[in-house]
Structure 1
Amino acid sequence: MGLGGTWDSAPYRPADIDAAEAAVQAALDSGITAFDHADIYRNGKAEAVFGEVLARTPGLRERITLQTKCGIRHGDGERPGMYDLRGDRVVRCVEESLTRLRTDHLDVLLLHRPDPLADPRDVAKALTSLQEQGLVRSFGVSNMSAHQIAHLQSHLDFPLVANQLEMSLKSRDWVEAGVLVNTSGAAANGFPAGTLEHCVDHGIRLQAWGPLAQGSFSGRAETEAERATSRLVAELAERKGTTPETVLLWWLQRHPAGIVPVIGTANPERIRACGDAVRRAPELGHEEWYELWVTARGAALP
């Protein structure tokens, strides 16, 4: 999301391509070979500068997994922002993303947000056509519940492979939902029950967006709970010989659901700080994992 310069309609600059190339190289140096996009990021410029990097680097496309998302439309003049998963629009968005990314296929396409008006038969027809044409190899969803996934899957002859959700030590509804059952706090938790379990049982890879919590525990703490958690994260990082960023990613990776963090930063230094999450298995014990959770909650578990 951070690639491509500004969010307005101004064109990207050569410096934006250089910045994208530096971010990609930092990722590769860290062992990261999967790249996640969306057609709306920087109004398409994030994909476009990434395409410029691919054009500059022969052979890179064959070394990476390329994923993008579609389905969100920003507001334009009097038209409000909306979600749009009409089949013909999905196909058009993919074609436009392929052009910007300068590639002939996507490894994965995610449907970015649920569209209440989407007809799953129409969506399935579009996805099937994209796969048959060789334009997209696999499909998944983002920000969807178990029931929404199952409903769409019932119209497809191939499996959905991923569900990308906001998951971090700060955005904890996904884990809180599992322990608030039969408590007064359950009603306030918006995470759809059973979604993690559904994904695990059906081989749908859970991808975590925002896994570093926008720096809340690694330099941008605002609340007392965030400051206490930041201190604990720093202590654990020093004890384990790694970085605070890695500790935060380990907290997600330690969960048995097999969560894959999708880091959003374009800062090469911060990307490299995540490298141990690729190179080393999560080194958090049971008690350490819970200590991080309870500290971040700012209250004892029920």
Structure 2
Amino acid sequence: MRTIKLGTSALEVPVVAVGCMRMQSLDQTGAERFVQTAIEAGANFFEHADIYGGGECETIFSKAIHMNDSVREQIILQSKCGIRQGTFDFSKEHILNSVDGILQRLNTDYLDVLLLHRPDALVEPEEVAEAFDLLESSGKVRHFGVSNQNPMQIELLKKFVKQPLVANQLQLSITNAHMIANGVNVNMANDSAVNRDGSILDYCRLHDMTIQPWSPFQYGFFEGVFLGSDKFPELNAAIDKVAAKYEVSSTTIAIAWILRHPARMQPVVGTMNLERLQDCFKASEITLTREEWYEIYRAAGNILP
């Protein structure tokens, strides 16, 4: 598996992250097979959140991988906190308590990466900074980042937080490519020119933050998967054409499309299907041509001025 540096850190990570949001759907044998398949492919970056399965997904993972010191040295663990039932919470107390719970469920002493999950409208960045300082000094968290945040929200945190913010997890797929489309349609009188996120793509590139695209196969907000959907006949035809050329699946091409972008992103794949998981990993071996990338981009309904 090809690797990249995570943000400005020295941490080498696989270009595809293994999302564990759906691990609750697997039995013990299936979960063990899942993590072993990922590790054998060199995909040793496992992505969690304290709300996935109410925390149960982290427990299932730690049991499936038979967590011990030797195993821990071979993997990279990322988790997220900040979402509570009916509220978002970036308070110092909640962050610290959440991390303790995450570490207990994962059966580990530290996280390689902690992300703040969704922006908290009531955030007091001074409290976030205090929490991060305690987590870093205690060795519980080694790197920090955010999720679904725009440039000014990040800048506000950076005014107080001294640790580099190495990653920003954002929704991105071929059909949810707004952050790309508004940059292509600058100064144009069409919907694609609307800047909904403060130029977050360019911001992350300028500040060397790794973008971690989530839901790379979804259209809308969890409305469904575009691969094989009769709602996207032109897109699927374009993807299938490129897939045939490289002798891979459409799943592989959908991830390769994201990896082709020069922002050096790290997509998070959430499938529990072992065949599709391996197809996702194959994307690290493929580099689409400029013409192929734009053909797929246009086939999804994205316009070029």
Establish whether TM, by shorter chain, passes 0.5: yes
Query: Contact between 2:168 and 2:210, CA under 8 Å: does it hold in 1?
Result: yes
1:4 corresponds to 2:24: yes
> Aligned residue for 2:45?
34
In structure 1, what is the Cα distance between the partners aligned to 2:168 and 2:151? 10
1:220-246 Cα offsets, whole Å, 9 max, x none, are x141xx122112211211111222111
Question: Does the CA-based 8 Å contact 1:21-1:53 persist in structure 2?
Answer: yes
Q: CA deviation at 1:193?
A: 2.9
- The alpha carbon displacement at 1:300 in A equals 3.7
Counterpart CA distance in 1 for 2:193 and 2:187 is 12
Equivalent position to 1:84, from 85, 89, 109? 89
Q: Confirm whether residue 292 of structure 1 aligns to residue 296 of structure 2.
A: yes
Distance 2:253 2:272 in 1: 19
Alignment of 1:169 with 2:189, yes or no, is no
CA distance in 2, matches of 1:31, 1:189: 39
| 1:142 and 2:162 matched | no
Q: Does 1:62 align with 2:73?
A: yes
Q: Secondary structure of 1:274's match?
A: helix
Tell me if the contact between 1:207 and 1:260 (Cα under 8 Å) persists in the aligned partners: yes
The letter of the residue matching 1:218 is L
1:52 aligned residue (26, 44, 63): 63
The change in CA–CA distance for 1:68 and 1:263 in structure 2 (over 3 A counts) is same
Separation in 2 of the partners of 1:146 and 1:189? 16
Q: How many angstroms apart in 2 are the aligned matches of 1:119 and 1:58? A: 36
Structure 1 counterpart of 2:186: 181
Corresponding residue to 1:261 among 251, 259, 267: 267
The answer as to 2:272 corresponding to 1:252 is no
SS of corresponding position for 1:59: helix
User: Residue 231 of structure 1 aligns to a residue in which SS?
Assistant: helix
Match of 1:274 among 267, 280, 286: 280
Q: Deviations over 1:229-267 (max 9, x none)?
A: 112211211111222111111111111111111101111
For structure 1, list consecutive stretches of 5 or more residues without a partner in the other structure.
Answer: 6-14, 75-80
Alignment of 1:127-138 (within 5 A): 127-138=132-143
Residues in 2 aligned to 1:85 and 1:19: alpha-carbon distance in whole angstroms: 34
Correspondence for 1:12: none
Runs of 4+ in 1 over 6 A off after TM superposition: none
Cα 1:39/1:104, change in 2 over 3 Å? same
Counterpart of 1:25 in structure 2 is 36
Answer yes or no: is 1:301 the counterpart of 2:289: no
Deviation at 1:192, TM superposition (A): 1.4
Identity of aligned residues (%): 39
Counterparts of 2:153 and 2:187, CA distance in 1: 24
Judge conservation of contact 1:233–1:247 (CA < 8 Å) in 2: yes
Q: Which residues of structure 2 form unaligned runs of 5+?
A: 1-20
| Higher RCO, 1 vs 2 (CA within 8 Å, ≥6 residues apart) | 2
In the TM superposition, what whole-angstrom CA distance separates every residue of 1:54-88 from its partner, at most 9, and x where no partner exists? 326773221111000001112xxxxxx11111111
The TM-score normalised by the length of structure 1 is 0.88
Aligned residues: 281
Residue aligned with 1:55, SS = coil
- Asked whether the 8 Å contact 1:142–1:163 carries over to 2, the reply is yes
Aligned match of 2:4: none
Structure having the larger proportion of residues in strand = 2
Q: Which amino acid aligns with 2:23?
A: L
Aligned mates of 1:232, 1:291 — CA distance in 2: 7
Which residue is equivalent to 1:122? Answer: 127
Asked whether the 8 Å contact 1:253–1:259 carries over to 2, the reply is yes
> What TM-score comes out, normalization by structure 2 length?
0.87
Counterpart for residue 104 of structure 2: 99
SS at match of 1:271: helix
The answer (yes or no) to whether the contact 1:166–1:209 under 8 Å persists in 2 is yes
Write the deviation string for residues 7-45 of structure 1: whole angstroms up to 9, x where unpaired.
xxxxxxxx6232221221221232211010000011111
Q: Report SS of the residue matched to 2:183.
A: coil
Matched with 1:9 is none
Alpha-carbon shift at residue 289 of structure 1 (Å): 0.6
Distance 1:300 1:159 in 2: 36
Q: Distance in 1 between matches of 2:216 and 2:73?
A: 27
Does the residue aligned with 2:49 lie in a helix, a strand or coil? coil
